[in-house]
Amino acid sequence: MRLDGKVAIITGGAGGIGHATVRKFLREGAKVVVADLDLERAQSVVDEADADGFAGSAIAARVDVSSYPDVVALVARTVEEFGRLDVMFNNAGIAGGRPLLEQNPEKDYYPMIRIDQDSVYFGILAAAHQFVAQDSPGVIISTSSIYGESAAENAMVYGAAKAAVISFTRSAAYELGPRGIRAVAITPGRVNTHMIQRLGSELGELFKSQQVSGKLTEPEEIANTVAFLASDDASAINGTVVHVDEGYSAFKQRFA
């Protein structure tokens, strides 16, 4: 019950990492807003959790994280429902990409930057305003990626957006730290969610072979880290990147 009574927004809450994090937070006693573009799937996550009878409680909310007014409205809805905000998990995102010479900005650059980069800036900004307004600090956790720290095939725009997530996090921690607000980025490696599964079994097997563990990371393993970072046990962790990649970023030479 490390998150007992804490109020959290989890964006991308209907997806793999988000769903697992919602369940972990509810087990730890949090009140959770399951926020996603897909309201129907977000509601199923809530219904499933209700049926499992966790300690915490949850509601579903539709949000397009690439819209600042939507993100502001999401925070307002959270406060209306639960009275405050303690944890903002900026997690919604999309992946993909094409070789640079096949790209055009309208299709390949702007949509991904809006969803994977602008969304995190919006989430940090809206949460920070709420933390200051309620005069009680909170935690902002944002999902980057191993590709935010190194280049990969067809990942130029995705990697740039995920690098921005790390930079936003550092600046937010620097600026908001004196108010007691923490900001942390996580960099998952290869996680067993729809994002990887849709690439097919061949690529899935390649990714597994590149992990020292020989397996994809399960979304629950990411959720455990997020719950720790959101808790008071992580009070000294601020402005940094937590690698939840089974060593991928430490062992780059293994894959050269």
Q: Is residue 195 a contact residue for ligand NAD (CB under 6 A)? A: yes
Tell me which of 3, 9, 10, 18 binds ligand NAD, using CB under 6 A.
Answer: 18
- Of 68 and 133, which has the nearer Cβ to ligand NAD? 68
Q: Is residue 78 a contact residue for ligand NAD (CB under 6 A)? A: no
Question: Which residues, other chains included, contact 132 with Cβ-Cβ below 8 Å and sequence gap of 6+?
Answer: 179
Q: Is residue 37 a contact residue for ligand NAD (CB under 6 A)? A: yes
Question: Which residues, other chains included, contact 109 with Cβ-Cβ below 8 Å and sequence gap of 6+?
Answer: 103, 157
Strand order in the sheet with 182-188: 57-62, 31-36, 7-11, 87-90, 139-143, 182-188, 241-244
Residue 250: how many other CB atoms lie within 10 Å: 11
**Count of all residues that appear for the chain in the document:** 256
- Of 30 and 92, which has the nearer Cβ to ligand NAD? 92
Active-site option among 121, 147, 158, 248:
158
Report the candidate in 122, 128, 120, 126 with the shortest Cα–Cα distance to residue 144.
120
- Of 93 and 138, which has the nearer Cβ to ligand NAD? 93
Q: What are phi and psi of 248, to 5 degrees?
A: -50, -45
- How far apart are CB 168 and ligand NAD at their closest, in Å? 13
Asked whether 61 and 112 are in contact (CB, 8 A), the reply is no
What does the alpha-carbon distance between residue 244 and residue 51 come to, in Å, rounded to a whole number? 30
- How far apart are CB 156 and ligand NAD at their closest, in Å? 15
Tell me which of 115, 139, 164, 173 binds ligand NAD, using CB under 6 A.
Answer: 115
- Of 1 and 152, which has the nearer Cβ to ligand NAD? 152
Q: Is 147 a catalytic residue?
A: no
Q: Is residue 190 a contact residue for ligand NAD (CB under 6 A)? A: yes
- Of 98 and 179, which has the nearer Cβ to ligand NAD? 98
Report the candidate in 172, 84, 89 with the shortest Cα–Cα distance to residue 131.
84
Tell me which of 8, 22, 63, 242 binds ligand NAD, using CB under 6 A.
Answer: 63
Residues that bind ligand NAD (CB under 6 A): 11-12, 14-18, 36-38, 63-66, 91-95, 115, 143, 145, 188, 190-191, 193-196
